[in-house]
Structure 1
Amino acid sequence: MGVMRIGHINVRVLDMDAAVHHYENVLGLLRADQDEDGNIYLRGWDEWDKYSVILTPSDRAGMVHIAYKVESDADLDTLRQRIADYGVEVDELEPGALRDCGRSLRFHLPSGHLMYLYAEKTFVGKAVASTNPDPWPDGLKGAGVHWLDHALLMCELDPEKGVNKVAEATRFMEEVLDFKLTEQVLAGPDGDVQVATWLARSSTPHDIAFVGGPRMGLHHFAFFLDEWSDVLKSADVMAKNTVKIDVGPTRHGITRGATIYFFDPSGNRNETFCGLGYLAQPDMPVITWTEDQIGRGIFYHTGELNEAFTTVYTDGV
């Protein structure tokens, strides 16, 4: 019952032609649709719902909304009541309000980010079909990413003013949407300030993450690849296409994943990510990283944080 996984992310882009080239030819997403407002819909070849990424033309970059898929339509009724009981305003939208989706719930997380929940989206099937499938389809472009894996959202954090939207968003995800806290970073004089969290509903190390910063925003959204060699190949593809690489290829201590971070032409940060890391079983103890080991947790090999990695990001609303 409840949330199953990430469904899609909607981001704003400054130059649609450049963005489409990036997401189709560098990442290897497949074009799914285009609407009358100029929004482009894409998906990974290993996804079966119609789309997982929406590109919206705009004069600024950043996230419009993020959406998660629930197991059944009846779950929406239960979750709507739980969200309202928590004190968060929630709207129920008619089928089609989210393109190609059934009815949905719309609300803002305590961090300020806009989230949707839905149960139904138009089914199109994997590019390799479901009967006697090949391990990958012919004609893949660029990195050939499998699916949209997760997103990391920046939350306002100012302990001196008593503001910790990381902790507030995390509590909401745990208590209302039944996400499991898998990892966290604790900081502050007493080591009790929750400055970053990773949460899961599936068996992966995280389906969403929150990190504290000076303002709310979108840090990155990530796409899954099979293995380390695929991450290295994605770096080659980026170099061939003069994509701005932020960090990597390297390994995370947190989640144990192998990674490379880079920017789309509008400045939205992407990630190609591989490695299950571990199974996020319901009874797994929470993994905690202390303030003195944050660098090792984020970039395990060097143990050093790139300052821009935590200060450069796009808007979250």
Structure 2
Amino acid sequence: MKPEIAKLGYLSLVTSDLEKSLWFFKEVIGLEETTEINGVHYLRAWGDFQHHTLSLEQGDRGYVRHIGFRTKAPEHVLEFKQLLEDGGIEVEQIKAWETPGIGEAIRFPLPSGHTFELYYDITRPEVEEHRRSVLKNQTYKSWAKGISPRRFDHVNIHSSNDSAEAYDFLENVLGFKMREFLRGDNGDVIAGWMSVTPLVHDVALVIKPDLPTPARLHHLSYWTDDSQDILRAADILREHNLEFVGPGKHGITQAMYLYVMDPGSGCRVELFSGGYLIFEPDWEPIEWLEAERPLGNTYWGDSIQDKELNKITIEA
């Protein structure tokens, strides 16, 4: 049997203004800081269980170092390493706990140009009593500050590289399942929503030939419990004088959304709620045609496609 990925883990983000990014993610979005080590800040939402789902550090510009995923079993990390190397892909092995909270890991490039990391072993740090939830099945107190999303949900990445190779790698090497996809007028798949969980997507990959660099991040996403949380988020963002797009509802995924930019890194964050889950073992991917793209992007509400904000992506 092939090794398997269990879930999306974390995103390593570099920012050109660490102070602004920490204010944005901690005070506005409402993430909790697990720890800070050697200038790197490790954050997670109140319902995230592993050490962190976002790391932030100072750099000369905003960009993504890598995106981490947890495997289903400890042995799958090295099994993926062998599988990738057999396919001619250069793999970097990361010593256990070199990244705080993350055990032995591997990093490698995708055909899209993005860097993924795979690991299994994690730590679940104890939370200080004044921040800890009384619920044994929850990490932090909910609604302690800011928008306060429950958990890390997905990433949306863009690439100008060959689409067939990129989707084939995600599906046939890493084991992601195509859930919904957009077919261009030329017959190529130009956007795919893919997952290893019952979510419609743990990762979305969009092909755009005119990007400034081959691999980009369109957004990272945190999950809120319901639509009222999205409306509350809009109020909070307005109070902080932050420009945003939404609320609206996607046709693809059927989820409610709101998009806002981190003023420090230029990274777009989506607040996400609703949608549907996939439990059918024989699920057939849903095909959308390019003429249907507006409906797929925006079922109703404020559309990101009409905004200048949509053109901004960061290097990944």
Task: Identify whether the pair has TM-score above 0.5, normalized to the shorter chain.
Answer: yes
Alignment of 1:150-299 (within 5 A): 150-156=154-160, 163-164=161-162, 166-189=163-186, 192-213=187-208, 214-215=210-211, 216-245=215-244, 247-266=245-264, 267-279=266-278, 281-299=280-298
Give the corresponding residue for 1:19.
21
Q: Residue 200 of structure 1 contacts residue 280 of structure 1 at CA under 8 Å; is this kept in 2?
A: no
Residue 140 (structure 1) aligned with residue 140 (structure 2)? no
Residue 84 to residue 260, structure 1, CA distance change in 2 (3 Å): same
Distance 1:142 1:52 in 2: 17
**Residues 30-79 of structure 1, C-alpha deviations (whole Å, 9 max, x = no match):** 0111111x111100110111111001111211211100011221011221
Residue 309 to residue 78, structure 1, CA distance change in 2 (3 Å): same
- Matched to 2:24, the amino acid is H
Q: Residue 81 of structure 2 contacts residue 91 of structure 2 at CA under 8 Å; is this kept in 1?
A: yes
Q: Residue 167 of structure 1 contacts residue 195 of structure 1 at CA under 8 Å; is this kept in 2?
A: no
- Matched to 1:314, the amino acid is I
Residue 306 (structure 1) aligned with residue 306 (structure 2)? yes
**TM-score, normalisation: structure 2:** 0.90
Residue 5 (structure 1) aligned with residue 7 (structure 2)? yes
Q: Residue 148 of structure 1 contacts residue 224 of structure 1 at CA under 8 Å; is this kept in 2?
A: yes
Distance 1:309 1:106 in 2: 31
Distance 1:9 1:101 in 2: 12
**TM-score, normalisation: structure 1:** 0.90
Q: Residue 70 of structure 2 contacts residue 119 of structure 2 at CA under 8 Å; is this kept in 1?
A: yes
- Matched to 2:250, the amino acid is H
- Matched to 1:141, the amino acid is K
Residue 142 to residue 107, structure 1, CA distance change in 2 (3 Å): same
Q: Residue 48 of structure 1 contacts residue 125 of structure 1 at CA under 8 Å; is this kept in 2?
A: no
- Matched to 2:109, the amino acid is H
Q: Residue 11 of structure 2 contacts residue 66 of structure 2 at CA under 8 Å; is this kept in 1?
A: yes
Distance 2:180 2:289 in 1: 11
CA shift at 1:135, angstroms?
Answer: 11
CA shift at 1:139, angstroms?
Answer: 5.6
Q: Residue 243 of structure 1 contacts residue 264 of structure 1 at CA under 8 Å; is this kept in 2?
A: no
- Matched to 1:211, the amino acid is V
Q: Residue 181 of structure 1 contacts residue 199 of structure 1 at CA under 8 Å; is this kept in 2?
A: yes
Residue 278 to residue 257, structure 1, CA distance change in 2 (3 Å): same
- Matched to 1:295, the amino acid is P
- Matched to 1:33, the amino acid is T
What are structure 2's unaligned runs of at least 5 residues? none
Residue 176 to residue 29, structure 1, CA distance change in 2 (3 Å): same
Residue 244 to residue 273, structure 1, CA distance change in 2 (3 Å): same
CA shift at 1:110, angstroms?
Answer: 0.7
Give the corresponding residue for 1:113.
114
CA RMSD of aligned residues (A): 2.1
- Matched to 2:306, the amino acid is N
CA shift at 1:85, angstroms?
Answer: 2.4
Distance 1:310 1:88 in 2: 32
**Percent of aligned pairs with the same residue?**
27
Give the corresponding residue for 1:160.
none
- For this pair of structures, how many residues does the alignment match? 304
2:234 partner SS: helix
CA shift at 1:311, angstroms?
Answer: 2.8
CA shift at 1:309, angstroms?
Answer: 5.3
CA shift at 1:9, angstroms?
Answer: 0.2
